[in-house]
Amino acid sequence: MEKKTVITADYYEIDKIIFDYFGVKYESVAMNEWNNYSSYEITVTPKEISEKEVREAFQEHYEIDVILDYLCHKGILEAGEYVIKVFW
């Protein structure tokens, strides 16, 4: 058995954090093709990521892990295991 501490967030809370920091509307459900009534685990670490990589994450790939790691590096998010809940 393993005990694990996680940070839980609703998808729209993550979308709001991204919007508040970048001023860009990010729709995590659509961008990541997440399903309703599900949850997704993401490990967030404070990685130093270039502005170019972050822009590419928005423009081409919509890589939420890159965006969240960047926000962690900037002190906006706490490092750790995140469970993002999806429901609408």
- Could you report the per-residue pLDDT of 27-71, keeping only the tens digit for each? 999 888 899 999 999 999 998 998 888 888 887 666 899 999 999
CA dist., res. 35 & res. 53, Å (int): 26
**pTM, two decimal places:** 0.88
Contact by Cβ (8 Å): 50, 74: no
pLDDT beyond 90 at 76: yes
pLDDT of residue 40: 96
CA dist., res. 68 & res. 83, Å (int): 13
**The pair of three-digit structure tokens given for residue 23, joined into one six-digit string:** 């001023």
pLDDT of residue 4: 83
**Could you give the C-alpha distances from 11 to 24, 26, 53, in angstroms and in order?**
15, 10, 22
